Chains A and B, each alone.
Chain A
């Protein structure tokens, strides 16, 4: 069965600094998608970034980028130039079986 593991329940970063959130997953499939979602307190889940497993190039969306290591089944999220608005729960998710990790709470300090 597919699993997604986020080993960092909480992380903190100072404004303007860079932080990396970790995610590992387990699957026997070769073609799949991976996602990072952001969930601010009491607000809806927002897609941050998406990676297709067959693409070797790491996805990038403005200040957000991933380090996708398919052989190691690792999918970390790097947030550069952190902003106060980045504070949220971050969930790593695997699809094709619609599986989310347990999340990492990110705090951003001014």
Chain B
């Protein structure tokens, strides 16, 4: 297992189209997070899963965004009816969490979305 894998690395789409990104976390990590990062900014939290349960969603995650993590393994993030403001780097991270001890996230390389 070489880390958190995200696909695709880059996606260019026309406004109004739907896009889906995939994240494969480190296999023994039970938590998975999605972030969005725009140029010059820090990552902004979108949502996270513990196993297959989606435990928290940011207000940034509008109705056009949906995330799933079937069977608690890989996760997908879908954006429907994309808008130019959705252009950003979408980062996935995973972490082991045992009890209340938190060891930090391992990030993937991200998917850069450009909406034209």
Contacts and interface: CB of A to CB of B under 8 A. Distances in A.
Nearest to B44: A100
A102 B43 contact: no
Indicate the member of A43, A45, A46, A47 with the most B CB atoms within 10 Å.
A45
13 contacts: A4-B42, A33-B102, A37-B107, A44-B108, A44-B109, A45-B91, A45-B105, A47-B105, A47-B106, A91-B42, A98-B48, A100-B42, A100-B44
Interface string B81-106: 00000000001010000000011111
Nearest to A49: B104
Interface string A22-56: 00000000000101010000011111001000000
Interface residues of A, number: 20
Contacts of A98: 33, 45, 48
Contacts of B43: 45, 91, 100
Indicate the member of B93, B104, B109 with the most A CB atoms within 10 Å.
B104
A11 interface: no
Contacts of A93: 42
